[in-house]
A = this chain, B = another copy of it.
Amino acid sequence: MKKYVYSFKEGKVHMKDLLGGKGANLAEMTNIGLPVPQGFTITTEACNEYYEKNRQLWPALIDEIQTQLKTLEDLTGKTFGGGENPLLVSVRSGAKFSMPGMMDTILNLGLNDVTVKTMEKVTNNRRFALDSYRRFVQMFSDVVMEIPKSRFERILDEIKEHKGAKFDTDLTADDLQEVVDQFKALYKEVLGEDFPQDSKAQLLLAVTAVFRSWNNERAILYRQLNNISASLGTAVNIQSMVFGNMGDDCGTGVAFTRDPATGEGKMLGEFLMNAQGEDVVAGIRTPLTIDKLMEINKEVYDQFMEASTLLENHYRDMQDIEFTIEKGKLFMLQTRNGKRTAAAALRIAVELVEQGLITKDEAILRVEPAQLDQLLHPTFDATALKNAKAIAQGLPASPGAASGKVYFTAEEAVHAARVNGEKVILVRLETSPEDLEGMVEAQGILTARGGRTSHAAVVARGMGKCCVAGCETLKVKEEEKKFYIGDKTYNEGDFISLDGSTGNVYEGVIETKTPELSGHFGILMAWADEVRKLKVRTNADTPKDAEQAVKFGAEGIGLCRTEHMFFEEDRIAAMREMIVAEEVEARKLALEKLLPYQKADFIGIFEAMGARPVTIRLLDPPLHEFLPHSDEDIADLAKTMGITFEKLKASVESLHEFNPMLGHRGCRLAVTYPEIAEMQTRAIIEAAIEVKKNKGMDVHPEIMIPLVGDVRELEYLEKVCRTLADNIIKESGTVLEYMFGTMIEVPRGAVTADEIAKTAEFFSFGTNDLTQMTYGFSRDDAGKFIKDYLEKGVFEQDPFVTLDQVGVGKLVKMAAELGRSTRPEIKLGICGEHGGDPASIEFCHKVGLNYVSCSPFRVPIARLAAAQATLKEKLGGGYSQK
């Protein structure tokens, strides 16, 4: 029979799939002899079965829970839901991958009207017992029964006001009794029944609530953002309670064994005495740093430091630890590999290798490639910063720099960013999971409360987003849409700037600059470069982008789009003349005007890239993109061009398409107007010859035909381009090697790649368009329904973000195999946006592409992801980073 419940002693660290990260680590800590409040874990499989069984617990599971509860009673000498020494437990979710703040937790379960009295006797602390009870009633009502938390908070606030209490701690036991009574009355009012007194029933309801919370909106959103499969399920941890809020010899805290912002090898911990865990994380009171614990209780401090070191060495990674001190005794509540900034991840990985704790390969695998993005974010320009006025300082919670308009709610921030396209700084008293979307859209986050382990800080770091937290001089009035610093008022829409690395807050907008990369970055990237098999190229259309990419390690250009060049003001006129031309000759005249511009562009790019290969895609977009569409603009342009409104309007109308995505573009343009392809070929080849002659650079241009679905399209254009190119080279008297190839971005191109490879010397997978056509999704229109798909669980990921390996990937694989079957030495790459997505890069490695190409700022990410792909393959299919 399947086992659904494991005590901490039964569990093992490798059982993460089954017990979740938290459960497995609690088991592991138990196994290595650390002081862990005992308990048991209900498996993720139970969660999945719960959903399969129409969201019902079932008798066999309930029996197992009760058996484990009995064992726990025996172990602790306490009785659950009654007796002389009541056993109280916490109920927490614990998925395989940590999902901070996403899942609901219930503390103090086991309290009822009877046990609260017993607790009062046992602890000799009526206030504590009632305080625990009122917390439990609220949490249970909120999390399990879904009565809005705010209604309980309102009652508490009213009583505090009535009693003249400033803090919760100012309330007396009698006051708290009144809170409990009113809480229970509210419960009855809303649900029409008394607050349940049977602790076992409460426990089962709580377990159900955790399972249910696996599919709450925040959890779904988090999984989407982090590409976590919905099929994993969550485990439930039931752990006997220890109390950090039983008096001044009690406390609770969290600590990172190294600095999660910088990676410095020095513990970063925070704690609060006489508090429960949530008080630290929620940022309601600003906590003390861990070294203060030495002064308060040296013995516990030493014990904690020893346990921390033990844990870090055991897990061979930086740990994020939760602990509680109950009446002077230390308990380890949780440990996990700590979240960290990219800079910290790099430093920690490199230093762990230096300390001999891990290998280079392990170090490479330790850094999440996507996270490197943070390092590449701009910082404030030093000169601009000198003139900037710092108006406040908070905690440097997540590095980076950002400027934007102030908004006070997630909703307004989202609206301002998405609808108005504004850069937004989200300013909140403190953040909560409901703010997640707003944080996604914001440039930076500023909170008045909470430490560097607060929700805002943890989430912002995960996103690589700049965050200043716990900025206490800020008086935030969310409902007034204002914040005050001293007597100065800041309104919604005012510009401020945040430095997440110093914690400084500035007025106005400050200019930013590209960051310097640390030595640890260089070391790790060098290790990665040694390992990876995939080359990394960049998508760059200008010499500036090309230079930037080379700095980041790009080994070539995988996609140089030529159409962007035509939008520049001095060129668009000639481009439009070309489009409006009715005869080949007029078109050729206009193209001749464009030729010197194109050639100059390519000279710049070739000089930036030197001997590195440069793939240049011929004109791709439909011609109507270059023309105005409103009558007014058409009239203006007609005037400028010296033609009649009617003529230009007729041109615009004749170019109108119902589905431009599937229209007259790509190689189809070149088949209709071969003179365009000729002009571009001439520009490429002449530029290459010039750079070769003048600079002595061994230039390697690669002419790429877009949107080929049929080898006959390519054959037709090969004749056009090669004939011209070969003639130019011959006439120049130089030797120039160039390649002729194609994008594979039309499904038919993939399916008939064996045919296409007869003519194409290389394929570059354009997975943006390939995804559009393979799914039949217009990227411009799919936003609406993909949202529905994600919400309804039809999709787990947006296929435009991460390559759909099952469908689109199958075509890529097929095309790679077919292409090689015809031309074994064919060069294969990817230049869609997926080329910078780590999961997609791993796929590209697996199907044996030669290179990926991505935007300059994603080049380092691709280098690392490519190295990880090689290592994961070596380790076999089982390896998983998360």
Contact = CB atoms under 8 A, between A and B. Distances in A.
Contact of A662 (B662, B794, B807): B662
Interface string A761-780: 00000000100111111101
B795 A662 contact: no
Contacts of A789: 671, 713
Most buried by B among A710, A776, A780, A782: A776
What 10 A-B pairs have minimum CB-CB distances, sorted nearest first?
A662-B778, A659-B778, A748-B807, A747-B747, A658-B780, A663-B781, A746-B776, A659-B661, A657-B781, A659-B659
B781 A664 contact: yes
B660 A710 contact: no
B710 A794 contact: yes
Contact of A710 (B671, B713, B748, B807): B807
Given A659-B662, A713-B789, A746-B775, 7 more contacts: A658-B660, A658-B780, A662-B777, A671-B785, A672-B788, A751-B811, A773-B776
B794 A713 contact: yes
A806 interface: yes
A567 interface: no
Contacts of A166: none
A476 interface: no
B659 A792 contact: no
B795 A712 contact: yes
B781 A658 contact: yes
Interface in A646-672: 657-664, 668, 671-672
A298 interface: no
A386 interface: no
A94 interface: no
A806 B659 contact: no
A699 interface: no
A664 B789 CA distance: 12
A784 interface: yes
Given A773-B747, A806-B755, A807-B710, A658 B792 contact: no
Contacts of A664: 781, 784-785
Interface of A: 657-664, 668, 671-672, 707, 709-710, 712-713, 716, 745-748, 751-752, 755, 769, 772-778, 780-782, 784-785, 788-789, 792, 794-795, 804, 806-808, 810-811
8 contacts: A658-B661, A658-B780, A659-B659, A661-B662, A662-B776, A710-B807, A713-B794, A748-B807
Contact of A751 (B746, B780, B807): B807
A464 B820 CA distance: 47
Given A712-B794, A781-B663, A807-B752, A776 B657 contact: no
A403 to B, nearest CB: 32
A748 B774 CA distance: 5
Contacts of A777: 662, 709
A661 to B, nearest CB: 4
Nearest to A771: B748
Nearest to A808: B748
A668 B785 contact: yes
Contacts of A769: 776
Contacts of A795: 710, 712
A745 B747 CA distance: 12
Nearest to A669: B785
A662 B792 contact: no
Most buried by B among A657, A664, A747, A810: A747
A781 B709 contact: no
A777 to B, nearest CB: 6
B659 A709 contact: no
Contacts of A773: 662, 747, 773-774, 776
Given A710-B794, A785-B671, A747 B772 contact: no
A788 B669 CA distance: 10
Q: Is the interface of A mostly helix, strand, loop or mixed?
A: helix
A754 to B, nearest CB: 10
Contacts of A672: 784-785, 788
A794 B747 contact: no
Nearest to A711: B806
Nearest to A811: B751
Contacts of A785: 664, 668, 671-672
A160 to B, nearest CB: 41
A298 B140 CA distance: 115
Contacts of A784: 664, 672
A771 to B, nearest CB: 9
Contact of A747 (B660, B662, B774, B788): B774
A579 to B, nearest CB: 14
Nearest to A664: B785
Contacts of A710: 775, 794-795, 807
B776 A709 contact: yes
A760 B685 CA distance: 53
A808 B710 CA distance: 11
Given A776-B769, A794-B716, A810-B752, A781 B659 contact: yes
A621 to B, nearest CB: 13
Nearest to A755: B806
Contacts of A792: 671, 716
Nearest to A810: B751
Nearest to A658: B780
Contacts of A707: 776
Contacts of A774: 709, 746-748, 751, 773
A806 B749 CA distance: 11
Contact of A794 (B671, B794, B804, B811): B671
A671 B746 CA distance: 26
A510 to B, nearest CB: 37
Nearest to A752: B807
Contacts of A772: 662
Contacts of A657: 778, 780-781
Most buried by B among A659, A713, A716, A773: A659
Contacts of A658: 660-661, 778, 780-781
B748 A775 contact: yes
A500 to B, nearest CB: 37
A806 to B, nearest CB: 6
A808 B780 CA distance: 25
A58 B772 CA distance: 51
A792 B671 CA distance: 8
Given A751-B774, A794-B710, A671 B788 contact: yes
A755 to B, nearest CB: 7
Nearest to A806: B752
A149 to B, nearest CB: 28
A782 to B, nearest CB: 8
Contacts of A806: 752, 755
A785 B671 CA distance: 8
A231 to B, nearest CB: 12
A810 B750 CA distance: 11
A539 B756 CA distance: 36
Contacts of A663: 778, 781-782
A337 B811 CA distance: 46
A514 B794 CA distance: 48
A426 B383 CA distance: 81
Contacts of A746: 774-776
A682 to B, nearest CB: 21
A187 B223 CA distance: 83
A135 B93 CA distance: 99
Given A659-B662, A671-B785, A671-B794, A811 B747 contact: yes
A693 B662 CA distance: 48
A78 to B, nearest CB: 46
A792 B755 CA distance: 19
A112 to B, nearest CB: 41
A777 B707 CA distance: 10
Contacts of A788: 668, 671-672
A854 to B, nearest CB: 23
Contacts of A755: 806
A659 B769 CA distance: 13
